[in-house]
Amino acid sequence: MIRAAIVGLGGWGRRLVVAVQEDGQPRGSEIHFTRAAVRSAARARPFADRQRLQLGSFEECLVDPAVDAVVLATPHSAHPGQVRAAAAAGKHVFVEKPLALTLVEAESAIAACAAAGRVLALGHNRRFLPAFRALRELVLAGELGSILHAEAMFAGAFGLAYAPDAWRAGDADAPAGGLTAMGIHSLDALIDCLGPVEDVTAQSMRRVLTIPMDDTTSAMLRFRSGPSGHVATLMATAWTWQLRVFGVRGYAVMPDETSLQVVERSGASRLFTFPVFDTERAELEAFARAVRGDETYPVPLGDVAHGVAVLEAAVASIRSGGVRMSVGGEARNPHEGSC
Ligand SMILES: NC(=O)c1ccc[n+]([C@@H]2O[C@H](COP(=O)([O-])OP(=O)(O)OC[C@H]3O[C@@H](n4cnc5c(N)ncnc54)[C@H](OP(=O)(O)O)[C@@H]3O)[C@@H](O)[C@H]2O)c1
């Protein structure tokens, strides 16, 4: 059983704890949160008491020999520094997305964990969705034929609920509207299916939000393997997460997180539905198995760094007024030549 400290007990930090334990009792045999690091203990106390988490500072968690790993659920700009500090203290690290806001920072965090011989795992939870795994298998098996285009949409009303001074709304943590927090999931999914991105052209607008955050952000991608791509995030509409991949034989679409529809060029269509799946529990248990050395965490760090590089290029394109930006860094090509 891996003993972990949760760092940040906001909305998502609590979600991660609840995914693997109930009232302090582990749900499985892989990972158990025993400590929590927060800055404001009063707000976190009721939850921490219920989950039997010892409250303290990040620094106290790092020097506690009874903590094997830290799980970072903190603002984006804090991630790379906290990863480096945890690695230097000999802790394994699970960190929420995005790993960093620049490729240089992402590579530095990855290098720190490698130098310390510690596991670094990213919370790209949508990779664990059974419907997404099925879509990816279809693409890699060539069932859609040569891939022409892929597109992803992630939308919600999140921006309408943020306070004007929320970290999530500011340029330091969310420099491209919803692309930083939400679109990074879409970018990661497309990189997992289609491999590295060559260049990006992006735009971002504030149509309705009155806080300092864009609500309407989109990026056109060109993949090195040939296809085009499009990723959009909206911060002031109804919630949806969708993904479509178009090939010369037909297309596959995830209209939501639990369905996959495959439509052949003839018009024949098959709909597959999958049970609701706890991706947070799956990713944390995969992290624990990687810490024990039983398996490799299934999100390659090359892909993670490349996703950050695409995000950075998108931000640069937005700031330049829409200039096409090439993407630094390398990701693996998951299907040499099949699309
Ligand atoms: N995978 C997913 O689907 C998903 C979904 C939602 C969020 N997330 C990710 O989870 C992470 C946390 O998001 P969240 O929604 O939980 O945010 P949140 O509710 O604002 O919580 C962030 C926590 O971090 C702590 N913190 C540490 N340093 C901070 C700082 N400098 N400024 C503000 N807070 C700081 C805060 O606690 P103290 O003030 O007590 O320190 C706070 O409880 C982000 O990386 C986000 O992208 C992932």
DSSP 186-245: HHHHHHHHH--EEEEEEEEE-SS--SSS-SEEEEEEEETTS-EEEEEEESSS--EEEEEE
Write out the two tokens for 325.
């930006």
Task: Based on the fold, state whether residues 149 and 181 are members of the same structural domain.
Answer: yes
Task: Based on the fold, state whether residues 174 and 138 are members of the same structural domain.
Answer: yes
Cα separation, 142 vs 184, in Å, equals 25
Task: Based on the fold, state whether residues 167 and 271 are members of the same structural domain.
Answer: yes
CB 164 within 8 A of CB 211: yes
Task: Based on the fold, state whether residues 214 and 156 are members of the same structural domain.
Answer: yes
CATH number at residue 311: 3.30.360.10
Task: Based on the fold, state whether residues 226 and 306 are members of the same structural domain.
Answer: yes
Residue type, 16: L
Q: Which domain does 44 fall in, by range?
A: 2-125
pLDDT digits (tens, 9 = 90+) for 18-55: 999 999 999 999 999 999 999 989 999 999 999 999 99
Task: Based on the fold, state whether residues 100 and 159 are members of the same structural domain.
Answer: no
CATH number at residue 90: 3.40.50.720
Q: Is residue 233 a part of any domain in this protein?
A: yes
| pLDDT tens-digit profile, the chain (339 residues) | 999 999 999 999 999 999 999 999 999 999 999 999 999 899 999 999 999 999 999 999 999 999 999 999 999 999 999 999 999 999 999 999 999 999 999 999 999 999 999 999 999 999 999 999 999 999 999 999 999 999 999 999 999 999 999 999 999 999 999 999 999 999 999 999 999 999 999 999 999 999 999 999 999 999 999 999 999 999 999 999 999 999 999 999 999 999 999 999 999 999 999 999 999 999 999 999 999 999 999 999 999 999 999 999 999 999 999 999 999 865 566 655 333
Quote the number of domains for the chain.
2
Give distance in angstroms: CA of 76 to centre of ligand 1. 8
Task: Based on the fold, state whether residues 165 and 186 are members of the same structural domain.
Answer: yes
Give distance in angstroms: CA of 10 to centre of ligand 1. 5
Name the region of 90 (left: φ>0; alpha: ψ -120 to 50; beta: rest): left
**Domain end position, chosen among 125, 150, 179:** 125
Q: Whose CA is nearest to atom 27 of ligand 1?
A: 74
Task: Based on the fold, state whether residues 116 and 199 are members of the same structural domain.
Answer: no
State the pLDDT at residue 328.
81
**Domain end position, chosen among 97, 125, 153:** 125
Question: Which burial class, exposed, middle or buried, applies to 293 when counting CB atoms under 10 A from its CB (0-12, 13-18, 19+)?
Answer: exposed
Q: Which of 6, 15, 39 to mutate to test the pocket of ligand 1 (most atoms within 8 A of CB)?
A: 39
Query: Which of 106-115's residues contact partners 24+ apart within 8 Å by CB, and which partners?
Result: 106/80, 106/304, 106/305, 106/308, 106/309, 107/305, 107/329, 108/80, 108/84, 109/79, 109/80, 109/83, 109/84, 110/301, 110/304, 110/305, 112/83, 112/84, 112/87, 112/88, 113/83, 113/87, 115/87
Write out the two tokens for 92.
């394994």
Cα separation, 262 vs 250, in Å, equals 7
**Domain end position, chosen among 88, 103, 125:** 125
Strands 228-234 and 147-155 turn out to be parallel
Handedness of CA 85, 87, 88, 89 (dihedral sign): positive
State the pLDDT at residue 338.
36
Q: Whose CA is nearest to atom 6 of ligand 1?
A: 12
State the pLDDT at residue 332.
60
Cα separation, 169 vs 214, in Å, equals 8
Q: Is residue 229 a part of any domain in this protein?
A: yes
Q: Is residue 199 a part of any domain in this protein?
A: yes
CB 69 within 8 A of CB 92: yes
Q: Whose CA is nearest to atom 8 of ligand 1?
A: 12
**Number of Cβ within a 10 Å radius of residue 236:** 19
Task: Based on the fold, state whether residues 136 and 266 are members of the same structural domain.
Answer: yes
Task: Based on the fold, state whether residues 214 and 97 are members of the same structural domain.
Answer: no
Strands 269-273 and 259-264 turn out to be antiparallel
